[in-house]
Amino acid sequence: MTRQHLLGTVLALALTASAHAANVKVINDDAWFAEGPIWYQDKLFYVEYGRGTVDVWDGKKNAIFWKMDGCGPSAVLPTATGEFVVTCYDNNTIGRISADG
Protein backbone atom coordinates (compact mmCIF):
# COMPACT_ATOMS: atom_id res chain seq x y z
CA MET A 1 0.00 0.00 0.00
CA THR A 2 2.80 2.44 0.89
CA ARG A 3 4.59 1.56 -2.32
CA GLN A 4 1.48 2.34 -4.41
CA HIS A 5 0.98 5.63 -2.57
CA LEU A 6 4.62 6.61 -3.19
CA LEU A 7 4.39 5.65 -6.87
CA GLY A 8 1.17 7.68 -7.24
CA THR A 9 2.80 10.71 -5.63
CA VAL A 10 5.85 10.49 -7.90
CA LEU A 11 3.63 10.18 -10.98
CA ALA A 12 1.51 13.16 -9.93
CA LEU A 13 4.63 15.28 -9.40
CA ALA A 14 6.04 14.27 -12.78
CA LEU A 15 2.80 15.20 -14.55
CA THR A 16 2.64 18.53 -12.72
CA ALA A 17 6.24 19.35 -13.67
CA SER A 18 5.66 18.54 -17.33
CA ALA A 19 2.47 20.61 -17.43
CA HIS A 20 4.32 23.69 -16.16
CA ALA A 21 7.30 23.14 -18.47
CA ALA A 22 5.27 24.45 -21.40
CA ASN A 23 5.09 27.85 -19.69
CA VAL A 24 8.87 28.22 -19.31
CA LYS A 25 10.56 30.92 -21.41
CA VAL A 26 14.24 30.29 -22.09
CA ILE A 27 16.16 33.56 -22.01
CA ASN A 28 19.65 32.14 -22.64
CA ASP A 29 19.92 28.79 -24.39
CA ASP A 30 23.73 28.92 -24.32
CA ALA A 31 24.39 29.55 -20.60
CA TRP A 32 27.42 27.80 -19.10
CA PHE A 33 26.35 26.78 -15.57
CA ALA A 34 24.11 29.75 -14.81
CA GLU A 35 23.75 30.45 -11.08
CA GLY A 36 22.87 33.10 -8.52
CA PRO A 37 20.15 35.08 -10.34
CA ILE A 38 18.95 38.39 -8.93
CA TRP A 39 16.30 40.77 -10.31
CA TYR A 40 17.52 44.36 -9.90
CA GLN A 41 16.27 47.60 -11.48
CA ASP A 42 14.14 45.80 -14.07
CA LYS A 43 17.02 43.57 -15.18
CA LEU A 44 18.03 40.01 -14.43
CA PHE A 45 21.64 39.60 -13.33
CA TYR A 46 23.14 36.11 -13.13
CA VAL A 47 26.52 34.45 -13.27
CA GLU A 48 27.85 31.97 -15.78
CA TYR A 49 30.32 29.92 -13.78
CA GLY A 50 31.70 28.23 -16.90
CA ARG A 51 32.49 31.52 -18.65
CA GLY A 52 33.59 33.53 -15.63
CA THR A 53 30.99 36.20 -16.31
CA VAL A 54 28.18 38.14 -14.73
CA ASP A 55 25.47 38.50 -17.36
CA VAL A 56 22.50 40.81 -17.55
CA TRP A 57 19.17 40.30 -19.33
CA ASP A 58 17.09 43.43 -19.98
CA GLY A 59 13.94 41.61 -21.07
CA LYS A 60 15.05 41.39 -24.69
CA LYS A 61 18.72 40.40 -24.88
CA ASN A 62 21.58 39.05 -22.80
CA ALA A 63 24.90 40.83 -22.44
CA ILE A 64 28.08 40.29 -20.48
CA PHE A 65 28.12 42.78 -17.61
CA TRP A 66 31.50 41.72 -16.13
CA LYS A 67 34.17 39.07 -16.72
CA MET A 68 37.12 37.76 -14.75
CA ASP A 69 39.08 34.70 -15.80
CA GLY A 70 39.83 32.39 -12.89
CA CYS A 71 36.98 33.75 -10.75
CA GLY A 72 34.38 31.04 -11.25
CA PRO A 73 31.50 33.26 -10.13
CA SER A 74 28.71 31.58 -8.20
CA ALA A 75 26.44 34.50 -7.23
CA VAL A 76 25.98 38.23 -7.72
CA LEU A 77 24.17 40.70 -5.46
CA PRO A 78 23.57 44.46 -5.66
CA THR A 79 24.74 46.70 -2.83
CA ALA A 80 22.93 49.68 -1.33
CA THR A 81 25.22 52.01 -3.33
CA GLY A 82 24.37 50.47 -6.72
CA GLU A 83 27.54 48.42 -7.02
CA PHE A 84 27.57 44.63 -7.05
CA VAL A 85 29.24 41.95 -5.00
CA VAL A 86 30.27 38.72 -6.72
CA THR A 87 31.43 35.50 -5.08
CA CYS A 88 34.32 33.78 -6.85
CA TYR A 89 34.33 30.05 -6.16
CA ASP A 90 37.51 29.15 -8.07
CA ASN A 91 39.87 31.70 -6.49
CA ASN A 92 38.14 31.85 -3.07
CA THR A 93 37.41 35.59 -3.11
CA ILE A 94 34.55 38.05 -2.95
CA GLY A 95 34.82 40.97 -5.33
CA ARG A 96 33.12 44.30 -5.87
CA ILE A 97 31.91 45.39 -9.30
CA SER A 98 31.14 49.00 -10.18
CA ALA A 99 27.58 49.90 -11.19
CA ASP A 100 28.61 50.01 -14.86
CA GLY A 101 30.42 46.68 -14.80
Supply the range of the domain harboring residue 77: 25-97
Report pLDDT for 96. Answer: 95
Q: What would the pLDDT profile of 29-58 be if each residue is shown by its tens digit?
A: 888 999 989 999 999 999 999 999 999 999
The answer to the question of residue 18 being in a domain is no
Report pLDDT for 9. Answer: 56
The answer to the question of residue 76 being in a domain is yes
The answer to the question of residue 2 being in a domain is no
The answer to the question of residue 59 being in a domain is yes
Report pLDDT for 13. Answer: 54
Stretches in the chain below the pLDDT threshold 50: none
Report pLDDT for 18. Answer: 53
Report pLDDT for 43. Answer: 96
End-to-end alpha-carbon separation of the chain, Å?
Answer: 58
| Strand runs labelled E in the chain | 34-40, 43-48, 53-57, 62-67, 73-78, 84-88, 93-97
The answer to the question of residue 10 being in a domain is no
- Count up the domains in the chain and report the number: 1
The answer to the question of residue 4 being in a domain is no
> Which domain CATH number covers 74?
2.40.10.500
